[in-house]
Amino acid sequence: MSRMRIAVAGSSGLIGTALTHSLRTDGHEVVRLVRRPARDADEVQWDPKEGRVETAGLVGCSAVVNLAGAGIADHRWTDSYKREIRDSRVWGTATLAEAIASLDTPPDVFVNASAIGFYGDTGDRAVDESAPPGYGFLPTVCVEWEEAAAAAEEAGVRTVFPRTGLVVSAKGGAWAKLFPLFRAGLGGRVGDGRQYWSYIALQDHVAALRHLIDTEELTGPVNLTAPRPLTNREVTAAMGRVLRRPTPFPVPAAVLKVVLGELAGDVLGSQRVVPARLLESGFDFRYPGIDDTLRAALR
């Protein structure tokens, strides 16, 4: 890619930090959207709850990437936190989409995060981007999340929804909590272990986001998952191999339901999601297999 100016919301999160570093390493100018008053030249203040963003900071951007949103697994799902999960995504997306649409020269592309939670529990059935939404809290959030980008789409801006799978990293997300357990020999399958986990290496996720920015024919939903989803049993076995630890302690479903509440349903659920459009567009995974993905996360 030629040198570009790219705005990133959610730049302090796991994926946002890695994406910002990758872009800057290659010489691109990154503008970070922050909720506090801007302190540096590369910052732009915004307030998604109030629907405000300093649009002057978006002028000249070739792309806007929105990764902002409250963590799905950061807290127990109380009614108030479920509202925070939903509102932080829908309000943030709508704020940026409307800001983009108001510019005299809007960016070429709006990459707005979504998630494979869109599909709900798919059981053993493999699904790609053509599948309809599932049922439940997360599918409903994902539908509203993507619909909130309508202003940008109506303004003619190419809009892409990377539906993210389970990002494998030792620095954050669910896997950062799993690695210490398995290192201590306390890891094991979750529930019956038959549920599918659709994962992706952090490095591949960042490369895929950049691919979405640069690939003009991509629009709409694109699954960001490794080519072959695995069952929890298979993931557990791989963790044992890579870390050279036994995996004797299964986590009973009943215990998860007590500890996690409603979130346990999604942990125990199965999502067999394949990245059909990403592969069709020519993206090359650096870490397509689970063992290499785990090793890359630990380096």
Percent of the chain surpassing pLDDT 90 = 80
pLDDT single digits (tens) 225-244: 999 999 999 999 999 999 99
Lowest mean pLDDT across 1-5, 19-23, 121-125: 1-5
Residue 31, domain member (yes or no) = yes
Residue 252, domain member (yes or no) = no
Q: What is the CATH number of the domain that holds 135?
A: 3.40.50.720
CA 24 to chain centre: 20
Domain count for the chain, please give it: 1
Residue 92 has pLDDT above 60, yes or no: yes
With H, G, I as helix, E, B as strand and everything else as coil, classify residue 258: helix
Residue 294, domain member (yes or no) = no
With H, G, I as helix, E, B as strand and everything else as coil, classify residue 156: coil
Residue 239, domain member (yes or no) = no
Overall average pLDDT of the 75-94 stretch:
92
Question: What's the mean pLDDT when you consider all of the chain?
Answer: 92
Residue 281 has pLDDT above 80, yes or no: yes
Residue 220, domain member (yes or no) = yes
pLDDT bracket for residue 257 (50, 70, 90): low
Residue 296, domain member (yes or no) = no
Residue 194, domain member (yes or no) = no
Overall average pLDDT of the 174-193 stretch:
86
Both tokens of 295, joined, read: 């090793």
Contact 102, 259 (CB under 8 A): no
Contact 195, 226 (CB under 8 A): no
- Residue ranges making up the domain that contains 158: 3-164+199-224+274-284
Residue 260, domain member (yes or no) = no
Both tokens of 2, joined, read: 């030629």
